[in-house]
Structure 1
Amino acid sequence: MLDLGSGTGQVAAALLPALAHVARLDLVDPDAGMLREAAETLAPLLGDCPAGFHRVGAEDFTPPFDGYRADLVTCARAFHWMPRPAVLSMADRVTAPGASMAIMGDGSLWTHPTQWTTELKRLIQSYLGPERRAGTAGAYTEPVRRYEDDLAESAFSDVTEHRFPVRRRWTPAAVVGYLRSTSFARPALFGDLHARFEQEAHLLLEEHGRNEGLIEYAVFTVLLARRPGGDR
């Protein structure tokens, strides 16, 4: 299994218990801090499964040994920020003939239309300005092309879409932890004000948690892509 844009390892942590056998796990992310958190998260789940942590952009991943072939490539929200044709070309080079790619995501708390997420967004904007920030890339821009269009022009052009309704009950601590991993509220954007922001966010979230609760209704979408003619 090869996970791209791994962040803190949440995709791998969710999939490892569900997969019957994983011979090797490789996580790819350019952020060393994220990979350190991923290693800590996954340590109790790996068992005898060897794991590699690669601090590079997804398009620059190179196999860790001769003969390496991934059977499953996963990528969650980070796919938006990647040079997608280059990433898909890399995936074609390092995967087995019958491999699958799973491009997945479920939106963002930034756009989720509830009172508590709206007020949280306003708090972020009070520190960072009205535009949605995008880490070191400036302001967020909507993708010009659909992921399906990128996949259609790649080796993985056989695509099926799967949609799963999700109801989440968040805790204040979980929301704050989530914000640290996002492009629009990562700690570096706040500079010396980050600690103060997190204190205010905790207070806001605790207040809403006591009232109606921190509930999110989302749809988790998975684009499962394969090479044409392969087994399903």
Structure 2
Amino acid sequence: MVQLLARELAGVAAPRLLDLGAGTGQVALSMLPALPPASHLDLVDQDEGMLRTALDELGPELGKRTATVHALPAEKFAPAQPRYQADLVTCCRAFHWMDRPAVLAMADRVAAPHAVVAIMGDGSLWTHQAEWTVALQGLIQSHLGTDRRAGTTGTYREPGRRYEDDLSESAFSDIAEHRIPFTRTWSPRSILGYLRSTSFARPDLFADHTAFEYHAQELLLQHAPDRVLHEDGVFTVLLARRPGAAR
């Protein structure tokens, strides 16, 4: 993914990366080794706590690069610099939560003529169909009910439209899809930490979160006697640009 995105910035001496739904800065951290020293990163997220974590993680790795965080909804991003232009706009595992047409309209206002919008994701352990993930989903449902929780109070609903449909009706209607297979390894402990960060199994949803984590660890150990679990998946990247923009 990093190599794919870095190719879109080839020849740009001082690129600006605009990361939407940035969370704790994982996209920015991954991209840093491929970015030249004069790069600037803008990280946008509604969660100030996650952005503070992002700055803590990025700080020691930035070198001469600079980074700014913006605690607001993605569609509300408005650069202070009058001639601001983003060379690459990224959104990883967050586009489904957003007002997608409004976000793409904002991107059209702030992106350089040659800029690419990259919408990326790989699902979650909730959607992954392995024996151990199906069993884990069943345990979560036994505590929280059959509907997948999402947001602060509601349940998850599949998007009524594909991301490609949103992009095709935006300024960025020239779309290329890239599918990158991967194998990810987990330990039971890392899965419990991951679940705490999700909208479908975060601690405050449970009447007794300690009991849930105890049973979850027991279940995971049954499926991983060597304490290693495998997730085989596909990371999908949609690269969208304005028609006629140089590739």
Give yes or no for TM over 0.5: yes
Q: How many residues align?
A: 231
Give the root-mean-square deviation of aligned CA atoms: 1.8
Select which of 185, 210, 216 maps to 1:201: 216
Q: 1:22 Cα shift?
A: 5.7
**Alignment match, 1:159:** 175
Q: 1:56 Cα shift?
A: 0.7
Q: How far does the alpha carbon of each residue in 1:66-85 deviate from its partner, in whole angstroms, 9 at most, with x for none? A: 32211011001110111100
SS of the residue 1:16 aligns to: helix
Compare 167-176 and 107-116 and name the one that shifted more: 167-176
Contact 1:135 1:186 in 2 (8 A): no
Alignment of 1:120-199 (within 5 A): 120-136=136-152, 138-190=154-206, 193-199=208-214
Contact 1:7 1:181 in 2 (8 A): no
**Alignment match, 1:11:** 27
Q: TM-score, normalised by structure 1?
A: 0.92
Q: Does 1:54 align with 2:70?
A: yes
Unaligned runs of 5+ in 2: 1-16
Q: Does 1:69 align with 2:85?
A: yes
Displacement over 4 Å in runs of 4+: none
Select which of 104, 119, 130 maps to 1:88: 104
Q: 1:212 Cα shift?
A: 7.9
Q: TM-score, normalised by structure 2?
A: 0.86
TM-aligned CA distance change 1:68 to 1:180, over 3 Å: farther
Whole-angstrom CA distance in 2 between matches of 1:223 and 1:77: 12
Contact 2:38 2:64 in 1 (8 A): no
TM-aligned CA distance change 1:199 to 1:37, over 3 Å: farther
Whole-angstrom CA distance in 2 between matches of 1:228 and 1:135: 35
Contact 2:20 2:89 in 1 (8 A): yes
TM-aligned CA distance change 1:7 to 1:206, over 3 Å: farther
What percent of counterpart residues are identical? 62
